[in-house]
Amino acid sequence: MRQGVVVPQLRADSAADVSRILRAARAAGADRSFLARAEAQLPRLHDLFRRLYGERTDGVERLASVVDLARRSWAERPAELRALDDARAADPTWFESERMLGGVCYVDRYAGGLRGIRDQIPYFRELGLSYVHLMPLFESPEGNSDGGYAVSSYRRVNPRLGTMAELAELAGEFRRAGISLVVDFIFNHTSNEHEWAQKAVAGVPGYEDFYLIFPDRTMPDAYERTTREIFPDDHPGSFVQLPDGRWIWATFYHFQWDLNYAEPAVFEAMAGEMLFLANQGVEVLRMDAVAFIWKQLGTACESLPEAHLLLQAFNAVLAMAAPGLLFKSEAIVHPDEVVSYISPEECQISYNPLQMALTWEALATRDGRLLQQALERRHTLPAGTAWVNYVRSHDDIGWTFADEDAAELGIEGYPHRRFLNDFYVGRHDGTFARGVPFQENPRTGDARVTGTTASLAGIEAGDAGGEDRVVLAHALALSTGGIPLLYLGDEVAQLNDYSYADDPHEAGDSRWVHRPHRPAQNYADRRDAATPAGRVFSRLARLIAVRRETREFAGNTLIGFGTPVASVVGFLRPGAGSAVLVLANVADGAVHVDALTLSGLEPDAVDLVSGEEIGVAGGLDIPAHGVLWLRVTLR
Ligand code: GLC
């Protein structure tokens, strides 16, 4: 190297840095399996660090200290979890199985606390769950905490729900029952009560740059020229003012302060919290709000390239210290961006907001074409990854389809979204839906929709098609591939709960309308065919049972099966020597799919749901809101 040239801290040629860090790990007593994984991951982690923190003089030191953190975390990893890591390595596509089924619930609302959740394990098994997402359960501010999405400590469970020791115990009990514990990794922001937040505001050395704090409006104004408002009901723009007059970045609620990942100490601190959770027995981390984690002036500050680099860096750390875990991406953005987070090196699984939103779109319009197009065009994923398909979540429904896709079908994005919002909040004549608007922005005309599945689908309004629509929406989520995820309570047709409006901490956030307490009566009725709960539950239970036995439903391969009937969504799930044909009719009347459309199939098929053989040579009748799962043979 020439004299006088400044040596960048993280060199493009990583070999020297990597071997120095590995030597240090060996000297510190790292075992062979850790060293092997560190050796495999370090070149890429080094490269990611160089791209993120190449300008920093402390880049190499930070990298070395992150690797040391991983070494210590591995040393403490319980034997049972190391055994899990081995099992996952031996069966890397475990999460693509047709036997995977997820459920999600709030700990307090569904079961009072972690002990109550343990008491639900027999029911989770009855339902066939293999994955349970417990909504945020960490210490968070009293009153409004955005449903726990404002975290004050990642190492303490909210005392109302239980303790961290109980969570670790529950993770073990889940595992022995064949259920993976999923929790949120809320790493874009902390609550304003988090120790880091308090220290940052107080100017404690080492913490000043953990958040984005500015003395006046100059920088906030500059950033806000290109950022969008996420919770306009709470505050305009992306910043809130501190009592001392300064401004701090807060994308969501005013008490959720965004972390500053341009500071490598923040990455290291968060990696520590991630590994701590991994060692409690968590098997999937739901990576919250991934699109927002990197900011750059002059951009929308969403889904920037560095957001991907950061996720990949967290992934590499995990691969060293807790290799059995998965990341699930929560990116509720344009479909091109959603898929950009999904790869074995970044997030292995991801919510599928497009399929979710377009299922509702199809039910409202009685036209399946946008959903059909999305399944044909946007369903494919890289090997080793999977969608998480859901009918609704704890959040609002946003109409995240691509305008350019819709335009091809002659649909204009803006008015179509307006129609869908009006339809689902009951402002449209003859609507079957009973939803509530969320974050309506009069300035932009934007809004989103909240409501339980049963209320949105028409059961609350007494619409004759309500139960069928609930079943249809789930039948799609259960058959398109990946991990279907049920919002617990929906399987027994739970309706909206409007009492949130009387609670001062919830009244301003209509998402609470669809986060009710566990509906004890509906569950008690689940075997009673005289009730909506009983009818919906028995039909969904049948679909779940059939899915488990249908090997074609594993994985993600899906081939569109277009029909001339606009209200029919059709696709094939191919298997070895056979395939399952799924046909769903979103219209309010029966339709006929003609013989010609089915002429590529052998005449004999099996209706998997009824178990009966049926002929397809003369075409097929599909009732109003009906779904067929047929095992067919291609000619
Ligand atoms: C995610 C959560 C949502 C929360 C937000 C901020 O989008 O799903 O409920 O409000 O992140 O943490």
| Ligand 1 site, residue 252, Cβ cutoff 6 A | yes
Over residues 240-249, the pLDDT tens digits come to 999 999 999 9
| Ligand 1 site, residue 186, Cβ cutoff 6 A | yes
Percent of the chain with pLDDT over 90: 94
| Predicted local confidence at residue 130, as pLDDT | 98
| Predicted local confidence at residue 407, as pLDDT | 98
Rounded mean pLDDT, 285-311? 98
Intrachain domains 94-187+273-552 and 554-632 with the same fold: no
What distance in angstroms lies between residue 169's CA and the mean position of ligand 1's atoms?
A: 26
In the structure, what pLDDT confidence band is assigned to residue 577 with cuts at 50, 70 and 90?
A: confident
Instruction: Name the DSSP class of 601.
Output: B
List the beta bridge partners of residue 607. Answer: 630
| Ligand 1 site, residue 362, Cβ cutoff 6 A | no
Using only the alpha carbons of the chain, give its radius of gyration. Answer: 25
Considering only CA atoms, which residue is closest to atom 9 of ligand 1? Answer: 395
Spans of all domains in the chain: 94-187+273-552, 554-632
| Predicted local confidence at residue 545, as pLDDT | 98
Q: Return d(Cα 381, Cα 482) in angstroms, integer.
A: 10
Cα–Cα–Cα angle for 277, 389, 344, nearest 5°? 55
What distance in angstroms lies between residue 88's CA and the mean position of ligand 1's atoms?
A: 29
In the structure, what pLDDT confidence band is assigned to residue 13 with cuts at 50, 70 and 90?
A: confident
Q: Which residues are known to be catalytic? A: 288, 330
Rounded mean pLDDT, 188-192? 98
| Ligand 1 site, residue 146, Cβ cutoff 6 A | yes
Neighbours of 422 (CB within 10 A): 18
In the structure, what pLDDT confidence band is assigned to residue 222 with cuts at 50, 70 and 90?
A: very high
User: Which class for 478: exposed (0-12), middle (13-18), buried (19 or more C-beta within 10 A)?
Assistant: buried
The count of residues in the chain is 635
Residue 80 has pLDDT above 90, yes or no: yes
In the structure, what pLDDT confidence band is assigned to residue 442 with cuts at 50, 70 and 90?
A: confident
SS3 571: strand
Rounded mean pLDDT, 116-124? 98
Considering only CA atoms, which residue is closest to atom 4 of ligand 1? Answer: 149
In the structure, what pLDDT confidence band is assigned to residue 55 with cuts at 50, 70 and 90?
A: confident
Mean pLDDT, rounded, of the chain:
96
Looking at residue 148, its amino acid is G
In the structure, what pLDDT confidence band is assigned to residue 444 with cuts at 50, 70 and 90?
A: confident
Q: Return d(Cα 617, Cα 526) in angstroms, integer.
A: 38
Residue 7 has pLDDT above 60, yes or no: no
Q: Which residues contact 164 (CB under 8 A, 6 or more apart)?
A: 155, 156, 157, 280
Specify the CATH number for 554-632; select among 3.40.50.2000, 2.60.40.1180, 3.40.640.10, 3.40.50.11600: 2.60.40.1180
| Predicted local confidence at residue 12, as pLDDT | 78
What distance in angstroms lies between residue 163's CA and the mean position of ligand 1's atoms?
A: 23
Do residues 580 and 550 lie in contact, with contact meaning Cβ atoms separated by under 8 Å?
Answer: yes
Structure tokens at 186: 């809320």
Specify the CATH number for 94-187+273-552; select among 3.20.20.80, 3.90.1570.10, 3.30.300.20, 3.40.50.300: 3.20.20.80
What distance in angstroms lies between residue 552's CA and the mean position of ligand 1's atoms?
A: 34
